[in-house]
Amino acid sequence: MIIIFALILLCTLIYGPQIWVRYVMKKHSAELSNIPGTGGELAQHLIKQFQLKGVDAEQTAPNSDHYDDNDKKVRLSPSIYNGKSLTAIAVAAHEVGHAIQFYRQEQITHLRKKFTPLAKTIEKISIGILFSIPLVTVIFKVPHVALLTALVGASGMLAAVLVQLIVLPLEWDASFNKALPILVEGNYIHREQETAVKSVLRAAALTYVAAALADMLRLWRWLAILRGAIR
């Protein structure tokens, strides 16, 4: 019973943040008639207002909102780009916040430049190590070697999550030092909408961490599959 409870608690800690992020985004995604423009229009407006030369906003795939500093693009998913909701304008402002960070070459941008590629590299290597377990087992025919390989791969996945936590200040700055002041001081939202917008901005800041934690749950599934393959 204790083991079951511990597993449920662990799954909640790992997958709970992503569920919460999705819940907050959906909760405030209703179209509002008093919002004068879409998320995409707001992004274009803010890019001009802050004179972010060479930066543009465009529509991208669903659930893939981000700022690409290589292409100088604020990329917004269809529901954000075309939406007139609190979620749409908050996420759009958050991504423009990233554009402002990189355009000004703020020191905090080095977090993403340095650690995000590192996290992706670590994750790819870890996945490769995990999928090599059946081959390692066949070659060495020693269960302990396979277990050690699995532990190395799992440790790598955990390291990737920790690296995403290092980048969190960059996300927090985009939400609460850039997007929120822009929306409040620019009167883009009403006073009574501020609490809801803060929730969306908080969720936007935690999106990558929540996704990284969810990857840990997928890691367990991989391990279960590989364990079956080893047997």
Strands of the sheet containing 73-76, edge to edge, are: 56-59, 73-76, 66-68
Residue 205: HSE in the Cβ half-sphere, 13 Å Cα cutoff: 22
Q: pTM for the whole thing?
A: 0.79
Q: What is the mean pLDDT of the chain?
A: 83
pLDDT in tens, the chain (231 residues): 676 766 666 567 666 788 899 999 999 999 999 899 999 999 999 999 999 999 999 999 999 999 999 999 999 999 999 999 999 999 999 999 999 999 999 998 987 777 777 766 776 776 676 667 666 666 766 566 656 666 666 666 666 677 667 788 999 999 999 999 999 999 999 999 999 999 999 999 998 777 777 766 666 655 555 555 445
**C-alpha distance from residue 161 to each of 43, 60, 117, 217 (Å):** 30, 25, 13, 12
Please give the positions annotated as active site: 95
pLDDT in tens, 13-26: 666 788 899 999 99
What whole-number distance in Å separates Cα of residue 49 and Cα of residue 37?
15
> Cβ atoms within 10 A of the Cβ of 59, count?
14
